[in-house]
A and B are shown apart, each in its own frame.
Chain A
Amino acid sequence: MKRSGKIEEKIFKVLMIIATYSILAILAIIIYTIFAKGIRSMSWEILTQVPQGGYYYGKGGGILNAILGSLSLAVGATILAFIFGLPVALYINVFLVRKKKLVTMIRFILDLVWGIPSIVYGAFGFSMMILLGLQTSLLAGTLTVTLFILPIMIRSMDEILRTVPIGLSEATYSLGANKSELAFKIFTRQTVSGIITAILLSFGRAIGDAASVLFTAGYTDNLPNSLMEPVATLPLSIFFQLSSPVPAVQDRAYASALVLTLIILLVSLFSRGIGKRYHKTKINF
């Protein structure tokens, strides 16, 4: 009996080791490919210029249009999603604390819409645009991406707010605070690092998604200059460059992918730094 238990444990240990390291290896290969191919065709020109005529057939220029486009779109969508998302997450956790069934239902619905593929958001955004007579534009793209990241934003903030110990709510109420004071003065402060992580996570999703901006933000070789004009995005820029028949342009797609990866990497490093800094102010358990 004891021996077979030991063999079992060994088998599982080996399986876990294989799973862990193969996944790490796959991720490493992906990142290596992006870095290796990306750095080769990376240049100052790519980062600082917009595509010249014939860029996708090998002419000069860069992807500044997509870098700035993606940043402005993702920043706008993240801000909007935060403004609408934080109150929802606080409402669920502070005001609806006695309505367990309702809260379960809201969370279930949010999880469902989280799972909807982003192309569906894109299609929805597109049909709304037709309804409102909007054209592909930074505004339409931002609003669609906002919808797409809202459930992510709300649910990740919600999961953090759920960790606030009930004793802290009791202490705050005992001091004569009402629900909004508990929500905005205590819950938000107690979970600052988690909320920032949620914001950055949503930002990462916003900037990396291609399908939701495909019909809504459109694409352009110009720099973003108005809310009502189409705007370029990094994922679509990568797609268009990879679709080129010219190998040199395909390589430049990797440089674009490298830029996107670095932005997301920076954002996540930043969020970790903030997490650590604020961790010290958390209470002892």
Chain B
Amino acid sequence: MEIEPTHKIHIENLNVYAGKQQILNNINIRIPKNKITVILGPSGCGKTTLLKCMNRLTDLYPELKVTGKVMINGKNVLDAGEDIVKLRQYMGLLSQRPYPLPMTIYNNIAFGLKLKGIKKSRELHKQVVRYLQQANLWDEVKNRLREPASRLSIGQQQRLCLARGLAVNPEIILADEPTSALDPISSQYIEEKFVELKNDYTIVLVTHILRQARRIADYVVFMYLGEVIEQGTVDEVFGNPKMEKTKQYLGGTFN
């Protein structure tokens, strides 16, 4: 598959096994640059596993065996060896539930910046402020930067995780049902933020919420039982689904 500048991630013949069970079956996807790609499907269809293959968090699960190619910036993530540490900095992660680092609010942002080699405290401070502002959190935390991040509300924590992810200056944002633990207002905020961020980032969003997909997706990948059933622009998949399974899912026959 040749590298096209309009595509950021190329997934080729990706298979994932857990023991004898096959979790992902021959996945081929091209994820367009500066667009929101939504991976849609019922729970247990392998969406999260697919997302974790992209930055090789599958490494953390001893039972998973991954074959195939995940090409990002011309490099295969799956056989990058220890270079994966650097490759992961191209990809920010927003998970289902926020996991603030066990340190202060300030250091949650500064942690990634320091890993990138920013050492001077003035520069650190400037960037921390900038990313907290970008995640719309600055006004709420500016007087409590030295408090443990765990004291924030879940919605604030999720925005902190977004700020922390943006701070390492990634090119891609991987989001795994980032609104599932949030209240409606925080959810709406995250959705709006994604639409704004797609100018600068390529966003891959895993969700099972149809309305969310319809609201913000540019490109949709519909998965069922470990296989990609259908993929296309949001208008193609939602407006004119070709496969029976997609029609059923969109029609609410199962979810």
Contacts and interface: CB of A to CB of B under 8 A. Distances in A.
Interface of A: 97-100, 165-178, 181, 185-186, 189-190, 192, 280-284
Contacts, number: 89
B92 interface: yes
B62 interface: yes
Interface residues of B, number: 37
A282 B115 contact: no
B101 A284 contact: no
A175 B164 contact: yes
A3 B161 CA distance: 55
Among A165, A174, A181, A186, the one with the most B-chain Cβ atoms within 10 Å of its Cβ is A174
Given A97-B60, A173-B57, 9 more contacts: A99-B62, A167-B96, A167-B97, A174-B165, A174-B174, A175-B111, A176-B116, A282-B102, A284-B154
B167 to A, nearest CB: 8
B103 interface: yes
Contacts of A98: 59-60, 62
Nearest to B167: A175
Among A167, A175, A185, A192, the one with the most B-chain Cβ atoms within 10 Å of its Cβ is A175
Contacts of B103: 189
Contact of A283 (B100, B112, B174): B100
Interface string B90-111: 0111011101111100000001
Contacts of A185: 111
A97 B60 CA distance: 6
B158 to A, nearest CB: 11
Contacts of A189: 101-103
B150 interface: yes
Contact of A181 (B91, B99, B115, B150): B115
A176 B84 CA distance: 9
Nearest to A170: B57
Contact of A177 (B60, B92, B115): B115
Interface of B: 52, 55, 57, 59-60, 62-63, 82, 85-86, 88-89, 91-93, 95-97, 99-103, 111-112, 115-116, 148, 150-151, 154, 157, 161, 164-165, 168, 174
Among B52, B89, B99, the one with the most A-chain Cβ atoms within 10 Å of its Cβ is B99
A165 B164 CA distance: 18
A167 B148 contact: no
A165 to B, nearest CB: 7
B91 A174 contact: yes
A181 B55 CA distance: 18
Contact of A190 (B92, B102, B111): B102
Given A281-B102, A283-B150, A174 B85 contact: no
6 contacts: A165-B99, A167-B96, A176-B86, A181-B115, A189-B103, A284-B157
A174 B150 contact: no
A226 to B, nearest CB: 42
B88 A174 contact: yes
